[in-house]
């Protein structure tokens, strides 16, 4: 059987891994993130009147969208908003991973170290929600920066110049509270993604260990990460579409959205005007980015925990 050594959740090495690991491959896969955001916005009206965007820019797939950004805006625009994206991952991943380990120790694990499935269904979404709520301002800035190129192609005035300007402009126009615009769908998405990622990885890993002769090594970690990445992308994409559209929508003088009243309103309007599959716009770049990210993160995370003397996740 697998020997379980309780994890010291206050370990500096574990916390350092949680905070720093996600940023390394973030720069490499970031163009997929920007492409995903552009795809998710396709079909969204820019006002309460039908948009001319579809006629002007057309509906594109992943490759045509990325190629269009390079052709119409420049190669390096594929990395527009990468700075707040790194900030977001430092806050989100660090808080989420530490919260999950803390919660699963609180709710109690089995003697072999595995977590009952029903308990992981609680720990995953809760930890993801905590991390995303704290990181929501960085997500808002990232999305607004990612959409700057398209705004200019539509003939609209620039909204933000850089990360600092974006933060200060939001606070100046709506106060500190405005930094959490769209936090509800953002947290909802994070809860679903963490349910798919953390819960699936934790459950799949211990299932494999208990039902096969494989030991707790890179093979088990790779299989578990492949499952978690697919489930996370499938569960999180619809919420990602809703979150992206709410965060990108124009607001009135009081800070209320002009297009959607709530997450449910955005979801219903999107399905009504564009069909159910509109909720999966951007799934290909989401999965293309999440698959290698999940594999890289979990393999590296587990190995560094091992080298640091911390028990396996």
| In the predicted structure, residue 135 carries a pLDDT above the cut 90 | yes
Q: Say which residue, 298 or 3, is predicted with more confidence.
A: 298
pLDDT at 45: 58
Average pLDDT over residues 165-190: 90
pLDDT at 8: 45
222/193 Cα distance (integer angstroms):
18
Take residue 192 and report the two structure tokens written for it: 């679903």
| In the predicted structure, residue 223 carries a pLDDT above the cut 50 | yes
pLDDT at 277: 92
274/47 Cα distance (integer angstroms):
16
Average pLDDT over residues 188-204: 90
pLDDT at 208: 94
| In the predicted structure, residue 16 carries a pLDDT above the cut 80 | no
Confidence of residue 304 (pLDDT cuts 50, 70, 90): confident
Which residues, other chains included, contact 308 with Cβ-Cβ below 8 Å and sequence gap of 6+? 11, 13, 14, 17
| In the predicted structure, residue 48 carries a pLDDT above the cut 90 | no
Per-residue model confidence as pLDDT tens digits over 225-241: 999 999 999 998 998 89
Three-state secondary structure call for residue 255: coil
119/270 Cα distance (integer angstroms):
33
| In the predicted structure, residue 128 carries a pLDDT above the cut 90 | yes
161/152 Cα distance (integer angstroms):
12
Report the C-alpha dihedral over residues 74, 292, 116, 119, rounded to 10 degrees.
-10
Contact present, 235 and 293 (Cβ < 8 Å): no
Closest CA to 114 of 247, 216, 243, 218: 216
185/189 Cα distance (integer angstroms):
6
Contact present, 282 and 210 (Cβ < 8 Å): no
Closest CA to 139 of 182, 98, 96, 97: 182
Take residue 307 and report the two structure tokens written for it: 């080298």
Q: Is the whole model's pTM more than 0.85, yes or no?
A: no
233/237 Cα distance (integer angstroms):
6
- What is the overall mean pLDDT for the chain? 82
pLDDT at 5: 43
- Least reliable range by pLDDT among 50-59, 115-124, 192-201, 237-246: 50-59
Please, what sign has the CA dihedral across residues 225, 226, 228, 229? positive
Report the C-alpha dihedral over residues 247, 248, 252, 255, rounded to 10 degrees.
20
Q: Say which residue, 162 or 44, is predicted with more confidence.
A: 162
Q: What percent of the chain has pLDDT over 90?
A: 31
140 Cα distance to chain centroid: 12
What is the DSSP code string of 43-97? T--SSSSPPSHHHHH----HHHHHHHHHHHH-GGGGGTTHHHHHHHHHHHHHHHH
| Alpha-carbon distance values, 156 to 46, 153, 173 (Å) | 10, 7, 18
| In the predicted structure, residue 263 carries a pLDDT above the cut 80 | yes
Q: Say which residue, 25 or 195, is predicted with more confidence.
A: 195
pLDDT at 114: 78
Average pLDDT over residues 12-20: 48
Q: What angle do CA 63, 58, 65 make, to 5 degrees?
A: 20
| In the predicted structure, residue 202 carries a pLDDT above the cut 80 | yes
| In the predicted structure, residue 14 carries a pLDDT above the cut 60 | no
Closest CA to 41 of 150, 137, 135, 142: 150
Per-residue model confidence as pLDDT tens digits over 56-102: 445 567 888 888 888 888 888 888 888 898 899 889 988 998 899 89
Sequence length of the chain is: 313
13/288 Cα distance (integer angstroms):
29
């Amino acid at each position: 059987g697998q020997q379980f050594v309780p994890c010291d959740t206050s370990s500096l090495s574990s916390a350092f891994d949680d905070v720093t690991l996600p940023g390394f491959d973030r720069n490499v896969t970031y163009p997929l993130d920007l492409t995903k955001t552009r795809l998710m916005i396709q079909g969204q009206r820019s006002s309460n009147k039908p948009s001319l965007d579809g006629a002007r820019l057309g509906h594109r797939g992943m490759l045509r969208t990325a190629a269009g950004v390079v052709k119409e805006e420049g190669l390096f625009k594929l990395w527009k908003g990468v700075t707040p994206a790194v900030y977001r991952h430092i806050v989100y991943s660090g808080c989420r991973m530490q919260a999950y380990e803390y919660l699963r120790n609180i709710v109690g694990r089995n003697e072999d170290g595995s977590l009952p499935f029903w308990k992981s269904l609680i720990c995953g979404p809760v930890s993801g929600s905590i991390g995303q709520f704290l990181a929501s301002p960085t997500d808002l800035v990232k999305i607004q920066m990612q959409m700057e190129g398209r705004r200019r192609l539509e003939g609209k005035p620039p909204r933000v110049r850089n990360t600092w300007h974006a933060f200060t402009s939001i606070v100046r126009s709506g106060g500190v509270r405005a930094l959490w615009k769209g936090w509800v769908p953002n947290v909802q998405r994070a809860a679903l993604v963490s349910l798919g990622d953390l819960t699936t990885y934790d459950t799949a890993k211990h299932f494999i260990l208990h039902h096969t002769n494989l030991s707790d090594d890179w093979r088990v970690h790779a299989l578990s990460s492949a499952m978690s990445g697919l489930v996370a992308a499938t569960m999180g994409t619809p919420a990602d579409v809703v979150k992206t559209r709410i965060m990108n929508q124009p607001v009135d003088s009081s800070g209320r959205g002009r297009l959607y009243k709530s997450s449910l309103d955005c979801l219903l309007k999107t399905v009504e005007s564009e069909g159910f599959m509109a909720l999966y716009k951007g799934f290909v770049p989401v999965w293309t980015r999440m698959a290698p990210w999940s594999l890289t993160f979990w393999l590296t995370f587990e190995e560094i925990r091992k080298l640091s003397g911390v028990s396996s996740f």
